[in-house]
Every structure is written in C-alpha cells, then in structure tokens.
Structure 1
Amino acid sequence: MTTAPGSTRNETAAIGDGLRGNAEELLRELAGPAARLRDDQWVAIEALVVDKRRALVVQRTGWGKSAVYFIAAKLLRARGRGPTVIVSPLLALMRNQVAAARRAGVVAATINSGNVTEWDEIHRQVASGAVDVLLVSPERLNNPDFRDQVLPRLAADAGLVVIDEAHCVSDWGHDFRPDYRRIRTLIADLGTDVPVLATTATANDRVVTDVAGQIGTDTLVLRGSLDRESLHLSVVRFDDAVERTTWLSGHLDELPGSGIVYTLTVAGAHDLADVLTSHGHRVAAYTGQTDPAEREMLETALLDNEVKALIATSALGMGFDKPDLGFVVHVGAPSSPISYYQQVGRAGRATERAEVVLLPGPEDTRIWSYFASVAFPREHVVRSVLEALDYERPQSTAALEPLVELNRSRLDMVLKVLDVDGAVRRVRGGWLATGQPWTYDADRYERLDAARTAEQQAMLDYQQTTGCRMEFLRRQLDDPALIGAAPGSGACGRCDSCTGIHRDTTVDTEAVAATRARLDRPGFDLAARKQWPTGMAKLGISLSGKITEGAETGRVLGRLNSLGWGRRLRPVLDGPDAPVPDEVVQACIPVLREWDWTVRPTAVLALESPDHPVLTTSLAERLADIGRLRNLGTLYLRPDHPPVSAVNSAHRVAALYDSWEVPDLSRTDGPILLVDTLTDSGWTFTVAAWTLRRAGAPAVLPFALATPT
C-alpha cells in the first residue's frame, strides 16, 4: 500500500482500520447481516479510496465485484469526492446495479437507450451533485452531445471511474465492443488523483495484460480462483436436433429452480420456445430483437420464478443477476470456452448446487463460421468508407450506406473502430473524416482470426475431454490457482467426467415424433419493404421515400437456421441444382392455402436464380399446376447486366434497378405469385415487384422456400 503524503504508516493504518469498519457496514447493507469483506475486496477498496490507484479485479461471477465499487463510491462520496461513473454494457446489468445501489443508500441513475426521455433531467441531477453513481452505456461515450458537454464535466468531477465487464475493452476479449475503446479517452482526461476500477469475470492472461495496460502503467491486478463449487457441468450429445430438443423438453422440469436455456441464433430461440411451450413448459424467448420493455418484463418474470426458463441468445448474458438461478443449458455450443464460462457463471451464485448442461450439435461450427464471416472487413472496403467521408460536411450512417459495399450494421462497426483509431469523428449530424493518417493493421486482424480459430477448437476439445470440465475451463482462462499445477490436480469432483455419472440420452420415439411434427409446421409471413433506402440519388437512381408500388406481404416455407424445416431445406439448397423434391412441394401447399391474400393469384412467375435455376423453375411449374395458375415462365436478368453481389440495401437496389427482361403481362388479370428459392434482405423481391407493377401487374405476392435466419 502506498503511504498517503504527509502521513505516517501508523496514521495510514488507523485510517485504513476505520475505513474497513465503514466498508463492512456498507457491505452488510448491500448483502445482509452475515456478509463479510473478502481480503481482496478490502485490498481493492483501500487502493481506490486511500491510495487513489487504478485497479483491475478479475474474479468469478458472484465473488462481489459490484460490492467493491459501490462501497468505494460511498466512501469517496463521504470524503467529498464527486460521483462515480460506471460504464456498463447491458440494460439488465444497469437495472440490477441501480437496485443494488439503493440498498446501500447510494443514489444511482443510468443513461441508456431505454430511458431517453429522462436524460436531460439526469444530466441536471449530475450537475447539481444529487447523484452518487451514474451508470452509462458505452455507446453514450461517443454520442456527440454527451461526449462534448457531459463527459468533460464527469472527467473533471468524478470521484471514481468503473469499467464493468472490462474484457470488452480488449481486442482479445470474447465480447470486444468498439464503443468500449472510447473509455481510453475518458481515462486519459481524468485527473491523476481519480481512481479507476476495471472488473470482469472472464479474462485470460492476454486480456488481463491488455486491459491493465490501457488503464494505466501501475495498475493493481487482483485475480482469484475461478472455480465455482456450486456448478455441476455435463455434456449431452445428440446428432439429431429434434432428438436434442425432445430430450430437453423431457428433462427440463427435473432441473432445479428456474434458469436460462441459451441458443446460438434468434430463430433457434423462437423455435425452441415454441416447442417447449407446446409441451406445457412455462418458457419465453428472449433475443436481441426483443423490445426493451418486453425484455425487462421477461427478466422480472425469471427473477420472480414465474417462468421455468428464458430461451435466450447471448443478449441475456453479462450482468443479469439472479443469485438463485438453478441451471444454465446451452442448445448449441458457444464458439469460445471463455464466453461459455461467462454465460454459465450466471447460475448457482447463491445456491449449493446448479446444473450446467451443454447440448452441442453438428451445426454449431457452421453457425460459428457465419458469425466469423461478418468480422472486420478487408482493407479496400474500409478505405472506401474513408474516401466517402467529407472533412467539413457530416454524413449520417444512412447517407454513407449507398456509397460503400457494407450493410448498415457492419458500416456502423467500421465507423466506430475508425473513430477510436482517430481517422473519423462522430459529430452532430453524422461522421467526419479527420484527415489523420490511418493504417490497416492486417497482422492484428490475422492474429485475431487465429485466436478465434483456436478458441473454437478449444470448445470442441471441451466437449470431448475425459478430464475435469471445470478444470478445462479454468485453464482456458489462465486461472492463477492452477499455475504450475499438474493436469488433473484441479479436478472439481462434480462434473460428469469426474463422477463418471452421465445423463441418460434415451428419448421416447413418440415424443420425438410429436416434436418433429411441431417443428415441421411450415410457413411464416414475409413482411414487405415499405421505404426505399436513403441516398439512392447519389447512385443515379430516382427512388426515394415510401414504396407505393411494391410487393404485398409474402410467405416463406422455412428458415435455414430453424430446428424444423432448416434441416430439410439446407440439403436442397446446398446440394446440386435439381428439380424441387415432392416433400417440399407438398409442404408449400398449406403455406399457400393459409395465405391471407386479398385476391388469389392468377399467374406464377419464377425469379431467375444463378445458383438454383432448375429448382426455382420446377417449383414455379409445380405450383402453377397445383393452383391452376398461368405460368409466365422466368423473370430473367438482361444478358448485359452484371451479377448482383452488393450486400447493403442501397447498392443492392441500384444493382437490381432496370435489370430484368419483363415478360408480356397483357393477359395477366390478377396478382402474380413471384417465386424464388432464398430471400434474405427482401430487396430482390421488392425491386422485382416494383418492376412488374410498373409493367402492368395488379399485385405481386412473393413466395420463397427459405430465409437464412
């Protein structure tokens, strides 16, 4: 411990003794009358409050990291210091932290996307000194008004800055977020006497070194054992997704209390929730597409044990705090043992036993590959973003999208990275180029790709290991308690490998058939595009505003990532081009029969498919015969038209504009059923429908075999 200037060691010790007593009292307010500070909790609090140091705390979930910063915030406030600023990544985490702060008498407020109408009032409360703790989402750090007006005052007046889930700061962290890199700017603007605390439960040696270096040159690092004595880990393998789902349905009620069932995709979450609900389980889907108000309602339902489980993507992860969560199940393996440990750490924080079950599938690696494919783009694509930006006139993301070969989400990510690197700057009204030199760090991105590949292999090794599963995860996170220890010396004695007790994988054939029937129900609606992309004029296309002559609401047979029709449609689309299988045609019939169209179609037209011409035309022919519709043949692209490969909305519309050879529609007196094999963004259907409508078609009804998600 660094001795405070002008004090003796005895005086400093006396101050520390008094502070520890105060800290213990605050901990009891937070956690109950039996709570006692851990030694490392006190070391961190003392370093922050007395020595004004910068510290990184890497401890398992449930260890009490939030207690450290709330107690430090209260003690610093009592000494006349300014409010504590906590950068927190998720709304669920913020809500839990605000509730925890109130228990210790800490006045806390939060600024995030879910309380926009309260921002001005919160800013006034911060300025007046009425707030002890301000929780801020990382995205707010680069909002121009917040960055330029609020952030400087916070940096000048803050008593403590906390970076929660600090692994997000690091490129090597399992959940790197560009917005988190803005924290470096906040820290750089702090006074030398403002302490900084970074916390995480999931950081290996590489991440610890990276984060500690970003915080400061003399960062105190406190790491503890990552063993979780309440967790009982097991792996249950099924090659068939329907059997896997059936097994879970049959065993869900055997799992203790309530918990979380994770899936890798949004479609998977909805499919699984639907099947489990149909079998009488109280569950609900929770994904990144769930409305914020509904998310809060679902979190409360799980906290209050009103549901057996939330069927969730990783959107329900860091910071969700239910101490008595009884189980975590993964239907599909995450791509990293580190992210897996982070998610299973939600369970068993205040229970003697919690079940952790992994149900991997052969499709997992394909899903990992898809997510890896949308990583940071190649240099020429990034350069095109810089070239499209102006130095004086701000451009919004929507305005930039037509000028580059990136969809909206990837463009937003690239801009954030360039912003952190100093090449662009976000201002009111959009983005500006700074003119600062920028280098594409190809070596860095290759190293990151290699690290991700190694993590994926480690996750496969976890599934196959005959050794202790908890020890495996701890070694992946470089648990300091295992440094120098022989393999097997850290065995937990609880997992299926240690005990030799493996879960029964028997599934009832009738239950499998019932699950399959539920998943095999085909068909869902395809929403029509309502608005043309912005900035089309920049590409020489005179389309803007509301789409007045577009497609009607369409229908799709199935999702490729679904548990039901995905497994049937993927071989059809991945295999050699061939006539449409009979079972696919028969499945299309009820999807068409249940279509809530205003007027029944009178004709069918196939969209030219570069990958599946036989499949598409044969599907259109079969539907024409079954529905007694006039077959208009195929809507071909003009021979001189280049292949359509654009990925973002504006470029795709521009590439499709005036691209087809329209057949004679003079004898068409009703809606056209427009058929394609695969639809993703919906723009091909939209522009084709617009083209046909302008050529005289009364209405266009899109129908596709599949969507990717």
Structure 2
Amino acid sequence: MTETTGTVADQAERAAVRERAEEVLRRLAGEHATLREDQWRAIEALTVDRRRVLCVQRTGWGKSAVYFVATALLRDGVTAQSGEREAGPTVIVSPLLALMRNQVDAAARAGIRARTINSANLDEWSVIQAEIRLGEVDVLLISPERLNNPDFRDNVLPDLAATTGLLVVDEAHCVSDWGHDFRPDYRRLRQFLAGLPSRTPVLATTATANARVTADVADQLGDALVLRGSLERDSLRLAVLDLPDPAHRLAWLADHLERLPGSGIVYTLTVAGATEAADFLRSRGFAVASYTGQVDDSERRAAEQGLLDNKLKALVATSALGMGFDKPDLGFVIHLGAPPSPIAYYQQVGRAGRAVEHAEVVLLPGAEDVAIWRYFASLAFPPEDQVRSVLSHLAPDRPMSTQALEPLVDLRRNRLEMMLKVLDVDGAVRRSRGGWLATGEPWTYDTARLRRVAEARRAEQDTMIEYASSTTCRMEFLRRCLDDPEAGPCGRCDNCSEPLFDAEVSAASLAAANAFLGKPGAEIAPKKMWPTGLAAVGLSLKGKIAAAEQIEPGRSVGRLSDLGWGNRLRALVADDAPDQPIPDDLAAAVVEVLKAWAHGEDAWAQRPAGVVAVGSRRHALLVQSLAEHIAKVGRLPLLGGLTSTHEGGGARGNSAQRVLALHDAFTVPAELKAELSTLSGPVLLVDDLVDSGWTMTLAGRALRRAGAGAVMPLTLAVAN
C-alpha cells in the first residue's frame, strides 16, 4: 500500500480495506452488522496508518470488534505495505480471567485463533509459546500481572514484543492512578511499548475515563488518536431508593427480584455482604449464586455460566465482577450499597442493557457505605516511613521474597505487594526469580501526587453521595462525572419520569429479612501455624503452634462487615468508640450465641468451667461487663483477667508484626493461675474484637501454658 494519503488510489485502497473490515465484522456479529463511523476510524488508524489509538466509548459500543477486525486484517496482510513484515499476533492485556474467556469465545466466532496465558493454565504455557513461534496464534491474551512475572518478562516478553502485530490495552483506565481502578502492573505497559518495533499499532480501550484519566492515558501512549464518543446508554433506566436499613433493602430485593426483567447482577460492597445477600435470597426461593474474590475459580466459572444460560436469576457479586463479564441481554443491575465513585458505578451498571431495549438499574445506598469506603481507603499506598523501611531491607544482589520481607515491616501481605509493584514501576526495586531486589536508583516519595489522588477519591465519594440524593437526571449526572460533553436529560430515570419502583416492602419479607440478619453467630477459626520468618525478628517460633498451646474454635456475635450486625458492632468496638457497659441487645445476642454453640451442629465438646477476660486498654469496661454477664447467665465463675503490657493498636499490621508485639505481652496473675489448676473444663476467653486473631491466640496460649486445659474464644465481633 502506498503512503500517498488523500490520493484517489489511496482512497480506493482504504475503501477496499473497509469493505474487508465489514466482512470480518459480519462474521463476528451477524450478517446485518455494520461498522460505526468511529469503529472504522479506529480500524483505519490501526491497520492502514499503524497509529496508536485511545477509544473512550460506552459499554456495548463494540470496542472488542475494533481489535478483532483489525487483527484479522493485519494477520491476513490486507493492509501491509510493500516490504513490510507480516503482522505477528495481537497481544491483548486484559484484567480478568472472565474477560479472557469471553474474548477467546468471541474471537473464535470471527475465525480468529485466540489463546491465553494466565495463572490458571500453567500446564499449557509451553504449548502456547510453541504455537506462537509457529505463527498459529492470532490473539494472545495476558493479564497485566504477567508482564512482570520474572520467567515471562525475561524469556517470553522480549520475543513477544518484537513480533507483536497489534497491542491492545483493555480497560485502559487502570493505567492511570487517577482512574477508579488503578493497577500498578498496568504501568509496566510503558516498558512493553518501548520494546515494540516502529509502526506497531496500539489500541487502548475503556468505557470509564473522565477527561483527566483520558489525558493521562493518551500521554502514556504517546502520539495517540483519541476517539471519545457519547456515553449515553439509552436502554438503562436509573433509580435510587432510600431505605432505612439492611433488612429493608434485602426485603425490597426479595419482593422485587422476580419482577425485574431477565437475569442480572446484585452488587455489594463486601464479601460478607455478597454471601449474606445470596444466602437470604436462596432462603426465599431464588436461584442466585455469590461471586467474590474468595470464591473458588471453578465455582465462579459455574456461576458465570449459570447466569449466561439464564439458569440463575442473579449473581450476587462484589466488584470482582466489575470488569470482564459479557452478557449482552443482562436485564438489571441492583446495588446494595453505593460504590465509592460515580465512575465505578457507571462501569458496573454498564454491564446491563447492551442487547435489550430496557434494563433496570437501582441503587439502594446504606448509611454504612461511608465507613466501608473509609476502610478501603486506609489500605492505599503506605506512608513514607514504611516505604523507606521496606527499601532499607532490600539489597541489589540478594533477592528477598515478600514472605521474608513481611516480618520486617508492619504491612499486611496484599498492601506490601501492591507497594512493591508501584516501586517496581517507579524503578526503585525489581522483581526477580527469588523475590525483590533494590535497584539503587534514586526514588522520591511523591507526597503531593498521593495527596491529590486521595483528595480526588474523597471528592468522588462526595459526588456519589450527591448522586444518591440528586433530583436531576441521573444519567446526565453520571455522564457529566465522566466529562461527556453531550450529556443531557435522559427522560427515563426516576427523576425524569414517573418512578417505576417505590420503597414499600411487604411485612412478610421484612420479617424474614430481620430474622435472617438478626440471627447472631460467626465462627472464630483458631490459628494453627506461626507466621513465616519470625526468626528474622528474633523469635524462635515456627511451623505448627504446639497442640498444647492452641486455642479452640470460637464464636462471636457477628462480623464488622455483616449486613445485619455490622453497623451495630462497628459503633461499639471501633478504636474511637466510647467505653461503656455492654448494651442490652448485645448482651441478649451473646446469650443466643452461647445457646447455639452449646446445642448446634458444631456444639462444644465440653461445657466451659470458667470465664476469663482479655485485658483491654481501649474498652476495659465493655469487656469486663461482657465477661460478668456471661458468668452470670452461664452460672460460671468469673476467674479474673489477663494483664497485658501491650499498648494496643497495630491490628492492621501483618501477622509477624502482631506476634512480635504480643508474644510475651500477656501475664496470668498468680490467683488466676491457682484457679486454672482447679478447673474441670475449658476456659471461656472473652474480648470485644478479633481482628488479626493473634491477640486471642497469644492470650489463649498464655492460659494454656498456665494450666488451662482448653481455651474457647468468645467476642462481640470479628473483623472479617
């Protein structure tokens, strides 16, 4: 193909390419499908001009059609110029396995051979790599995390970058730390881009990028054609209902789920919320499944397929289903609790209504939403002193694993790993086969940028609260949050027209929801293994906790993340909550927990013979009154309490640091030790909250070593 852009010959050749592109699209999407104008502009720029393109287009617009059609054209040599090499495979960087599975299936419909390399198919890697070398793979899908897997980065990526015919960055808002779902691994795409041969086309796609995120991503791509379309979704009918508590929200869902069209998604903010809501709906006769990051991959696949086949009315999901699920006829999206960002909300509701005339979208915000947002915000990039501490432990020639680092710094595993990924992208550390290495490169803690990002997050939360109470058009509100210049009233939402739903719930459903959520009781699983790497901090504890020093399984009233008890418990056991005697409703709930524990399926093997309180510095009155109440109603001796030298705090640190702080913090007074020697049964060990679990484990260990035959934990709350 000549480079005489604008000549008659060039125009004719471009017309021929478009005709071929339309043929591929029809294979992909049906005989009546035609390219949108911006779809063609993107395909033309990628295949004819070999440019970089950023597509910011609504969900359902057809972004995947762009890269599949472009792949077919490039692989067939339709757009190759004289002397230009044959295009290698398209590499799609995609964030979730579910999205990869959908994309592989979609590619097959267009006659495109797609494969994926991810953590779930390790045994296929060598075969797939051989297929790539033989030119038998048209599309390779990889996760952003794969880009910095040492084996993949060092042995596969260089050849892959050198032969890539088209690079696609899906969900490209993740590249930007201004985006609502920033992922550090996406930043490594800069290195991939730098290794591409000249004139290798690049396509970045997203449905959820405001002007700032769009500019940031375009800047990282380089000289990019930005194609930004209207974000109107004329099939979606948005509504918000203000209901007083979680029981009313579950009852509303039970009353209305059958009325909602087709099948859909019910989003929750927490794993516990998804599990509880799914359990309740099943108890009311609905075919639903929970979908969270803690559900086994095979179960998630089965749940996805159940919804795709319309065998399930809904998936009750966390944001684990936010990206990567493709069901064009999804009829509704309900939120039990508001996401912390209107942009994230737009993305999640965008899963619905892609191939149906009408889809219902209902937000049921809760008073607890702000507390949940605050908790997740607390897990952001650590303060500078913690980052510097990590860097000080790394050497340039001696890799250190995350597990080895963890005991040396007061950060939990997932937060430590996220921080290391950011440092890797910044060039301060490098991941190797044996762990992490210091590069020696100068690094600056960007306080100003982190502050601006945190302020942007808080502003998004305020905007989400404003959305829930807004009396203006809801779709227009969301589109303006995404800087859509064409935003205007939709005429469909509950503020533009007569609301389709009201806040009324039936007495039967409300009673059932109250009974379900009001049932107290959550298990406390005992620790059985010491954290790894304690020798590095001077503790000779490793492997299994000795059987003679372990505690038994325990019970609490509920989890802080529970839909039912969560709000009540958070208000009582929070660090800044006033210390007070146990309220009557919680005292009654504790009695119910004890009854169920004594007579349930997993009943205790032996009745407790005495009560001991953990020495609490935050809520001494609460814990003491709880112990006294249990002793009174159970007719058990109150044996006293442990004394503690621990100052409190640090519960969000990692396990090794908690053990370091607590391993010798508890003392069994002489009079208590004497009482233990006379007991004929277990000790009931009482506290207000189990967070990491190590306070209860080490307090129980002190009692076991002082002569207690068994220790059974009982608390008001567990953190998760």
TM-score, scaled to structure 1: 0.96
Alpha carbons 2:237, 2:492 under 8 Å: kept: yes
- Where 2:197 maps in the other structure, the secondary structure is coil
Q: SS of 2:321's equivalent?
A: coil
C-alpha distance in 1 between matches for 2:459 and 2:585: 40
Aligned twin of 2:83: none
Alignment of 1:230-379 (within 5 A): 230-379=235-384
Q: SS of the residue aligned with 2:319?
A: coil
2:185 pairs with 176, 179, 182, which one? 179
1:545 and 1:618 map into 2 onto residues whose CA distance is 37
| In 1: Cα distance, 2:437 partner to 2:110 partner | 44
2:116 aligned residue: 110
Q: Judge which range, 7-16 or 224-233, deviates more.
A: 7-16
Matches within 5 A, 1:134-533: 134-216=140-222, 218-482=223-487, 490-501=488-499, 503-533=501-531
- The letter for the 2-side match of 1:19 is V
Contact 2:551 2:701 in 1 (8 A): yes
Q: 2:613 aligns with which of 601, 606, 609?
A: 606
Give the distance between the partners of 1:521 and 1:139, measured in 2 at CA. Answer: 41
Paired with 1:642 and 1:332, the residues of 2 have a C-alpha distance of 35
User: Which residue matches 1:680?
Assistant: 691
Contact 1:644 1:655 in 2 (8 A): no
Distance 1:642 1:235 in 2: 45
Q: Following the alignment from structure 1 to structure 2, what is the Cα–Cα distance between the partners of residues 127 and 585?
A: 68
Provide the residue aligned with 1:100 in structure 2. Answer: 106
Q: In the TM superposition, what is the alpha-carbon distance from 1:146 to its structure 2 partner?
A: 0.4
CA-atom RMSD in angstroms: 1.6
Q: Comparing 677-686 with 509-518, which one deviates more in the overlay?
A: 509-518
Are 1:106 and 1:133, in contact at CA under 8 Å, matched by a contact in 2? Answer: yes
Q: Name the CA distance, whole Å, in 2 between partners of 1:385 and 1:66.
A: 41
Distance in 1 (alpha carbons) for counterparts of 2:528 and 2:50: 55
Q: Which moved more, 1:580-589 or 1:267-276?
A: 580-589
SS of residue paired to 2:642: strand
SS at structure 2 position matched to 1:472: helix
Which deviates more from structure 2 when the two are superposed, residues 572-581 or residues 365-374? 572-581
Residues 14-42 of structure 1: per-residue CA shift (max 9 Å, x gap): 32222212211111111111111111111
> What do residues 262-302 of structure 1 show as CA deviations (whole Å, max 9, x unaligned)?
11111111111122111112112111111111111101111
Whether the 8 Å contact between 1:258 and 1:326 is mirrored in structure 2 is: yes
- Following superposition, the deviation at residue 10 of structure 1 comes to 2.8
1:29-48 matched pairs, under 5 angstroms: 29-48=27-46
Cα shift readout 1:184-215 (whole Å, capped 9, x = no counterpart):
11111111121100000001110111001101
**SS of corresponding position for 2:486:** helix
User: In the alignment, which residue of structure 2 is the partner of 1:51?
Assistant: 49
SS in 1 for 2:285: coil
Q: Percent identity over the alignment? A: 62
Give the structure 2 partner of residue 629 of structure 1: 636
1:618 aligns with 2:632: no
Runs of 4+ more than 3 Å apart = 3-8, 641-644
Equivalent position of 1:553 in the other structure: 553
Alpha carbons 2:254, 2:509 under 8 Å: kept: no
For 1:126-175, what per-residue CA distance to the aligned partner results, in whole angstroms no more than 9, with x for missing partners? 22222111000111111000011111011000000000000000011110
Work out whether 1:86 is the aligned partner of 2:92.
Answer: yes
Instruction: Using the TM superposition, give the Cα deviation of residue 530 of structure 1 relative to its aligned residue in structure 2, in angstroms.
Output: 2.2
Aligned residues of 1:224 and 1:480 also touching (Cα < 8 A): no
What amino acid maps onto 1:110 in structure 2?
T
Question: Residue 179 of structure 1: CA displacement?
Answer: 0.8
Find the residue that maps to 1:76 and give its secondary structure: helix
Separation (CA, whole Å) in 2 of partners of 1:119 and 1:694: 51
- Number of residue pairs the alignment of both structures matches: 697
> Residue 11 of structure 1 is aligned with which of 4, 9, 12?
9
Q: Find the counterpart in structure 2 of residue 580 from structure 1.
A: 582
Task: Tell me the distance in 1 between the aligned counterparts of 2:543 and 2:12.
Answer: 70
Partner of 1:697: 708
Matched residue SS, 1:481 = coil
Compared CA separation, residues 5 and 511, structure 1 to 2 (3 A): closer
The answer on whether the counterparts of 1:670 and 1:699 sit within 8 Å (CA) in structure 2 is yes
CA distance in 2, matches of 1:414, 1:7: 47
Gaps of 5+ in 2: 78-85, 598-602
How far apart, in 1, do the equivalents of 2:552 and 2:536 lie?
28
Matched residue type, 2:271: V
Residues 626-671 of structure 1, C-alpha deviation per residue, up to 9 Å, x if partnerless? 3333322111103xx5445361111110100111111313223432
Task: Deviation per CA, 1:403-433: give whole Å up to 9, x if none.
Answer: 1111111101110000000000000010000
Structure 1 letter corresponding to 2:650: S
Q: Deviations over 1:604-623 (max 9, x none)?
A: 21111111111112212222
The structural deviation recorded for 1:350 is 0.2
Counterpart check, 1:671 vs 2:682: yes
Q: Secondary structure at the match of 1:334?
A: coil
Shift of 1:7: 7.7
Aligned to 2:158, what secondary structure does the other structure show?
A: helix
CA distance in 2, matches of 1:391, 1:231: 54
Moved more, 195-204 or 546-555: 546-555
Q: CA deviation at 1:13?
A: 2.1
CA distance in structure 1 between the aligned counterparts of 2:385 and 2:617, rounded to whole angstroms:
26
User: Does the 8 A contact of 2:175 with 2:217 survive in 1?
Assistant: yes
Give how far 1:243 is off: 1.3
Identify if the C-alpha distance between structure 1 residues 41 and 585 changes in structure 2 by more than 3 Å, giving closer, same or farther: same
Q: Are the equivalent residues in 2 in contact too, given 1:553–1:701 (CA < 8 A)?
A: yes
CA distance in 2, matches of 1:586, 1:476: 47
Judged with a 3 Å threshold, the aligned counterparts in structure 2 of structure 1 residues 546 and 120 are, in CA distance, closer, same or farther, namely farther
1:475-510 deviation line (CA, Å, top 9, x unaligned): 11111324xxxxxxx111111111143522122334
Give the Å deviation of 1:105. 0.8
Cα distance in 2, alignment partners of residues 678 and 530 from structure 1: 19
Aligned match of 1:567: 567
Aligned equivalents of 1:668, 1:11: Cα separation in 2: 98
Equivalent-residue separation in structure 2 for 1:100 and 1:612 (angstroms):
57
| CA deviation vs aligned residue, 1:557-591 (integer Å, no higher than 9, x gap) | 11122121223333433543222233323322332
